[in-house]
């Protein structure tokens, strides 16, 4: 099997997308990897074309970057779309505000392997891979969040558990091979579809002056030898850019998503990873977004190691970094410093993701810090300016990070913190100081009504 024998097996499993799609049955649960690990439209659209032949198929879709036609209304009779992380345009269109968060599944990244192998084992998965090497191993590329569990399951004392019944590999010679825990033998797949297709590359999000001021405040909290995790969005991207110009030395990267600024950090010598606890000298990440300038950087780069979520999102592993710093976003923060990072009321905008994993990990880290970076205001549905620092979270909003896990909150108006150990009356005062001046008086009145102020 490890010599030329694998080639016969490869040929036996090689088929068209339409043939592979026939493996989907009524009542199946389809789960894909996230972002770049997802197959192209070829396979998923072939599955959607079977809408008149199957029923009650659940598609758990997360961070989808391609416009699969399965999201169109005419397919909803056969395919029930649920999600654990909205965020991207194809999914936001499928989950408008009037849908509430009923179709949302609360999943933390760290525990997802347990869930997918024990409680919610998928029956079908499909993933993009590189062509096989001389020994029949393909490369899973720059996404390991769910991928290995979906394909292989997990080994337990009771033997292997999980792994999808149907595993459809899309072999793409334009996919990016990366280092880390990324090799899988073709024997793990039930179907193989060859398709040469370019990878998506999303445009950078728009950047405002307030974004830049927030990023400057966050960068001021960073220190030499920090191990850094940065979340998704415009503010994290600007933070990445500003770190290039910061007077920092020997920073490391231990993160879910690879920061967009990582190539520049390495080129300038800021990022050496020398003082990381986990695999010193190497960037540790779990996945990357569809960012064109990162493709060449990660391609077979020994400085970048992609690891599974059971490592990158394990609070104990995160906490073993002595100077772990998590930088994440929020939608609302109340005056006790609870963070709503997923929804406004019942309207889902993202998901649990790994924010809670890193909040706990940073709390374990000896010199760790957990930072929430957010704009102080937003526009409501009528276009009116509203404060994102609020007396109470909007009813129905899901708490993504507990008040006891937040060390700093940074807006364009300043930094609140360190909050660790600070009583609520002082927290409320610190948060009001970084709110938009227009809303500070009413926040003071609200704090008095909540009896946060004496």
Residue 137 structure tokens: 């191993």
Q: Once rounded to an integer, what is the mean pLDDT over residues 126-134? A: 97
Which has the higher per-residue pLDDT, 453 or 436?
A: 436
Q: What value does the mean pLDDT of the chain take?
A: 93
Is pLDDT of 449 > 80? Answer: yes
Is pLDDT of 231 > 90? Answer: no
pLDDT for 3: 62
Which has the higher per-residue pLDDT, 98 or 252?
A: 252
Q: Once rounded to an integer, what is the mean pLDDT over residues 80-87? A: 85
Q: Counting Cβ atoms within 10 Å, is residue 383 exposed (0-12), middle (13-18) or buried (19+)? A: exposed
Which has the higher per-residue pLDDT, 87 or 141?
A: 141
pTM for the full model? Answer: 0.94
Given 19, 53, 194, 256, the catalytic residue = 256
pLDDT for 204: 79
What are the chain's domains?
5-194 (3.40.1080.10), 209-449 (3.40.1080.20)
Residue 156 structure tokens: 């337990």
For the chain, percent of residues with pLDDT exceeding 70? 99
Q: Which residues pair with 257 in a beta bridge?
A: 287
Q: Once rounded to an integer, what is the mean pLDDT over residues 385-413? A: 95
Q: Once rounded to an integer, what is the mean pLDDT over residues 302-331? A: 96
Is pLDDT of 89 > 80? Answer: no
Cα–Cα distance, 447 to 449 (Å, whole number): 5
Is 170 labeled as catalytic in the residue annotation? no
The highest-confidence range among 2-6, 16-20, 64-68, 292-296, by mean pLDDT, is 16-20
Q: Once rounded to an integer, what is the mean pLDDT over residues 419-436? A: 96
Which has the higher per-residue pLDDT, 128 or 204?
A: 128
pLDDT in tens, 133-160: 999 999 999 999 999 999 999 878 888 8
Using alpha carbons, list the distances in angstroms from residue 162 to 30, 35, 64, 100, 153.
14, 22, 23, 31, 4
Q: How confident is the model at residue 233 (pLDDT cuts 50, 70, 90)?
A: confident
Is pLDDT of 2 > 60? Answer: no
Q: Give the torsion sign (CA, 29, 30, 35, 37).
A: positive
Is pLDDT of 425 > 90? Answer: yes
Q: Using alpha carbons only, give the angle 393, 395, 398 rounded to the nearest 5 degrees.
A: 70
Strands 385-387 and 377-379: antiparallel
């Amino acid at each position: 099997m490890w010599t030329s024998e694998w080639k016969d097996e490869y040929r036996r499993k090689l088929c068209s997308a339409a043939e592979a799609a026939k493996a989907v049955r009524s009542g199946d649960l389809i789960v894909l990897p996230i972002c770049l690990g997802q197959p192209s439209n070829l396979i998923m659209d072939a599955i959607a074309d079977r809408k008149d032949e199957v029923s009650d198929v659940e598609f758990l879709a997360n961070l989808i970057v391609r416009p699969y036609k399965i999201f169109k209304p005419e397919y909803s009779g056969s395919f029930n779309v649920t999600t654990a992380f909205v965020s991207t345009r194809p999914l936001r269109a499928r989950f408008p505000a009037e849908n509430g968060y009923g179709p949302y599944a609360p999943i933390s990244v760290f525990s997802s392997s347990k869930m997918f192998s024990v409680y919610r084992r998928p029956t079908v998965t499909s993933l993009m891979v590189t062509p096989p090497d001389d020994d029949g191993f393909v490369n899973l590329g720059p996404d390991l969040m769910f991928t290995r569990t979906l394909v292989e399951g997990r080994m337990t004392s009771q033997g292997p558990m999980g792994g999808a019944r149907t595993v459809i590999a899309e072999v793409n010679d334009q996919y990016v091979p990366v280092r880390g825990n990324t090799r899988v033998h073709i024997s793990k797949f039930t179907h193989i579809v060859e398709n040469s297709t370019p990878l998506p590359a999303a445009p950078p999000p728009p950047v405002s002056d307030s974004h830049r001021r927030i990023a400057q405040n966050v960068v001021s909290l960073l220190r030499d030898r920090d191990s850094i995790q940065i979340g998704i969005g415009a503010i994290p991207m600007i933070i990445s850019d500003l770190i290039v110009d910061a007077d920092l030395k020997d920073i490391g990267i231990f993160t879910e998503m690879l920061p967009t600024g990582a190539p520049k950090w390495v080129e300038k010598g800021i990022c050496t990873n020398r003082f990381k606890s986990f695999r010193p000298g190497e960037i540790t990440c779990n996945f990357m977004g569809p960012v064109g300038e990162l493709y060449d950087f990660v391609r077979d780069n020994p400085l970048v190691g992609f690891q599974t979520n059971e490592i990158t999102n394990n609070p104990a592993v995160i906490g073993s970094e002595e100077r772990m710093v998590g930088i994440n976003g929020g939608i609302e923060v109340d005056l006790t410093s609870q963070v709503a990072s997923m929804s406004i009321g019942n309207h889902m905008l993202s998901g649990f993701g790994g924010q809670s994993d890193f909040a706990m990990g940073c709390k374990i880290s000896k010199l760790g810090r957990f930072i929430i970076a957010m704009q102080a205001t937003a526009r409501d549905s009528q276009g009116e300016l509203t404060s994102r620092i609020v007396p109470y979270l909007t009813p129905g909003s899901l708490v993504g990070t507990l008040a006891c896990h937040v060390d700093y909150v940074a807006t364009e108006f300043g930094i609140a913190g360190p909050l660790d150990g600070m009583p609520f009356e002082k927290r409320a005062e610190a948060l009001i100081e970084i709110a938009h001046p227009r809303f500070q008086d009413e926040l003071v009145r609200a704090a008095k009504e909540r009896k946060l102020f004496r």
